[in-house]
């Protein structure tokens, strides 16, 4: 599949890496020149500078042959415009948008965006369900474009990663941590994040790496 991702923030960056690791053709579009220059060492020809909400940039990226266009910027208005341009001007079959404000999900659906993903709404749903899973891993969402799942695991005191920092761990290929729920606090994990017993950890993982991640946890 050929997948265009607009926005090279954390979401776009990690999504692009996962999809490329699975063998998909990816083009990552980012308008911040400094970020493009930095990421070009990793993505080479798979990243380009430009405003992905414009017809010219989307045309240059080859949107006319894309299977999926994903808008992952931090601005809901930009994500909506990107999806609408891809849909109306290039007649792409599937558009997916990151929704930063869950109140906008209904608007996105009404304006033709095929799918929207709200991290806030997803995490809130998990908190409200109060799932007690022990050390079991629960699939929460499958992204059909790349056979990727978002899964949840609640850490026990015997977990291998308790009292360890993310920067000191070696994750299985195609897996990343995307959130840690500690009591009523939602933590966006980074290298210095140290895991604690009873943390609920959300991870984005390829199905082929799920068992390896389970073993590590």
Domains of the chain: 2-117 (3.40.50.720), 122-216 (3.30.70.1450)
Per-residue pLDDT tens over the stretch 160-184 = 899 999 888 888 887 888 888 887 7
> What is the pLDDT averaged over residues 72-79?
89
Q: Between 107 and 35, whose confidence is greater?
A: 35
Confidence of residue 212 (pLDDT cuts 50, 70, 90): confident
Q: What's residue 125's pLDDT?
A: 52
For the chain, what percent of residues have pLDDT higher than 70? 85
According to DSSP, residue 183 is labeled T
Q: What's residue 54's pLDDT?
A: 92
CA 38/CA 19 separation, integer angstroms: 20
Torsion of CA 155, 101, 147, 130, to 10 degrees: 30
Residue 21: C-alpha distances to residues 25, 87, 138 (Å): 10, 27, 23
Q: Based on C-alpha coordinates, what's the Rg of the chain? A: 18
CA 2/CA 98 separation, integer angstroms: 19
- Res. 31: pLDDT tops 80: yes
**Is the four-CA dihedral 157, 163, 166, 167 of positive or negative sign?**
negative
Confidence of residue 152 (pLDDT cuts 50, 70, 90): confident
The model carries a pTM of 0.59
CA 81/CA 128 separation, integer angstroms: 32
Q: What's residue 120's pLDDT?
A: 58
Of the listed ranges 14-18, 58-62, 132-136, 172-176, the one predicted with least confidence = 132-136
Q: Between 81 and 154, whose confidence is greater?
A: 81
Q: What is the mean pLDDT of the chain?
A: 81
CA 61/CA 11 separation, integer angstroms: 19
Q: What's residue 4's pLDDT?
A: 95
Torsion of CA 39, 44, 49, 53, to 10 degrees: -100
Per-residue pLDDT tens over the stretch 95-150 = 988 887 777 877 887 888 888 777 655 555 544 443 333 333 444 444 444 456 67
Q: What's residue 148's pLDDT?
A: 65
For the chain, what percent of residues have pLDDT higher than 90? 29
Q: What's residue 122's pLDDT?
A: 58
**Is the four-CA dihedral 30, 33, 35, 40 of positive or negative sign?**
positive
CA atoms within 13 A on the CB side of 101: 11
CA 94/CA 215 separation, integer angstroms: 35
Of the listed ranges 34-38, 121-125, 193-197, the one predicted with least confidence = 121-125
Q: What's residue 36's pLDDT?
A: 95
């Amino acid at each position: 599949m050929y997948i265009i991702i607009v926005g090279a923030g954390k979401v776009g960056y990690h999504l692009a890496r996962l999809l490329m690791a699975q063998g998909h053709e990816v083009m990552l579009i980012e308008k911040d020149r400094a970020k493009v220059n930095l990421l070009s060492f990793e993505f080479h020809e798979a990243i380009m500078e430009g405003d992905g909400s414009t017809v010219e940039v989307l045309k240059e990226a080859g949107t006319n042959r894309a299977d999926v266009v994903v808008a992952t910027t931090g601005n809901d208005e930009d994500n909506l415009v990107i999806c609408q341009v891809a849909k109306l001007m290039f007649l792409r079959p599937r558009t997916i948008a990151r929704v930063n404000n869950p109140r906008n999900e209904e608007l996105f659906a009404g304006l033709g965006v095929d799918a929207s993903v709200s991290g806030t709404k997803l995490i809130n749903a998990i908190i409200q369900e109060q799932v007690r899973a022990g050390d079991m891993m629960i699939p929460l969402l499958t992204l059909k474009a790349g056979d990727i799942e978002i899964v949840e695991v609640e850490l026990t005191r015997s977990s291998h990663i308790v009292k360890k920092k993310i920067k000191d761990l070696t994750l299985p290929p195609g897996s990343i941590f995307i959130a840690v729920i500690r009591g009523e606090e939602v933590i966006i994990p980074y290298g210095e994040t140290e895991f604690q017993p009873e943390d609920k950890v959300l991870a984005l993982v390829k199905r082929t790496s799920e068992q390896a991640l389970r073993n590590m946890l």
